[in-house]
Every structure is written in structure tokens, then in C-alpha cells.
Amino acid sequence: MKINKKQKKWDKEAERCLKIADRLGLPIDPGIMDFVITLNLLGFLTRCSCEGHNDKEHIVSYPFVDITSKKALAHMKVRKELFQKQEEKKISEKLFGKKFHENEKIRRKELARFSSNFEPYLDLFYKNRKVNYDSIITMDPGVIDVRIQPSGHFIQFSRTQLERDKRVKRYQKEFRDLTEFLKKKYFSSK
């Protein structure tokens, strides 16, 4: 595919992403926007993101993006419907347990499947890269998605304000570098 076709796709996706707002009406953070665009163009459905903040208004002091698949979302819908049926007493406990377990098994496999599609990108990115251990970008599975985030995310809350400031900047740089790497992969692919 010619670069100008790729660029047109990029521009169209960027235009779409600029219109996205969360429940509070806030747009995608500018510092994570290109990462979100690139992930979507590479076939990963993004659900939630943050560029990482370190102020009193924001809880999250590290960048992240949640990715999922249409199949995982469909299984979440089934899960929700099962809970509703159970609450309304329209399904027995035994049948609920059986259907819930079957659905969860399929949902977990789907999470593993689509997250394994992103692993090769991380493997290539980190092949010869030397970074601080807590800046390494990892994937952590959730209920309906997989969170892409720095490995040191969980200790940000216990750090001093000064240390959090340093780390969030380091994490943001790692995400910018990964974004550039992925953009090159996108624009150079056929």
C-alpha cells in the first residue's frame, strides 16, 4: 500500500479519534492520541486511555491504553445479560453458573488471543532497548480488556510527589518512543 493511502487512513482515524469524548465529555489526551490512533490502525480496538498525569485532579499518574476486541465486548454483553437474568430470577443458580463459566472461559481465551497479537510488537521494540525496569511497557489483562501500561504503574501511588513527577515523564517518553516505533511499522507495512 502506498504511503499516501496509509496517510489518508491515518488522517481519517485521527479525525475520528479527535471526536471521541469520555463520560465527562473530555477528549483523548493529546499525549496519548498518536498511540491510540496507531493501535486502532494496527487492528486493536481501544476503549480507554490516559497520557498520565501527576496532579491532584487526576488519579492516574502513568500513561495507559486499554485494548479489547469485538468478541470480548460481545462476551461482556452476555455476562451482563446473565447477571440481569439471575437478579430477575429468570435463570436458575445452576444454569447461571454453567453459562457464566462457559462464557468466561471463552472470554478469557479471547483476551489472551488478541493480547498475544500485540506481544510481538513489544518483543521487537524491546529487543535491543535498555530502559529502567519500571518503564518497560507491559500488558495486564482485565475483565473486558487488556491494559497497556508501564510495569511500575502499581508503585506510583506510594512514591513522593517529586518521584512521581520524574517517573510519569519517563513513562510518557517510553510511550512516545513505542508510538514512533509502531507508526514506523504501520507506515512500512503492506
Write the secondary structure of the chain as one string of H (helix), E (strand) and C (coil).
CCHHHHHHHHHHHHHHHHCCECCCCCECCHHHHHHHHHHHHCCCEEEEEECCCCCCCCCCCCCEEEEECHHHHHHHHHHHHHHHHHHCCCCCHHHHHHHHHHHHHHHHHHHHHHHHHHHHHHHHHHCCCCCCHHHCEEEEECCCCEEEEECCHHHHHHCCHHHHHHHHHHHHHHHHHHHHHHHHHHHHCC
Per-residue pLDDT of the chain (190 residues; tens, 9 = 90+): 555 899 999 999 999 999 998 878 889 999 999 999 999 999 999 989 999 987 766 667 899 999 988 888 888 899 899 999 989 888 898 998 999 999 888 888 888 888 899 999 999 999 999 998 999 999 998 877 899 999 998 888 888 888 888 999 999 999 999 999 999 999 998 7
Domain ranges of the chain: 3-188
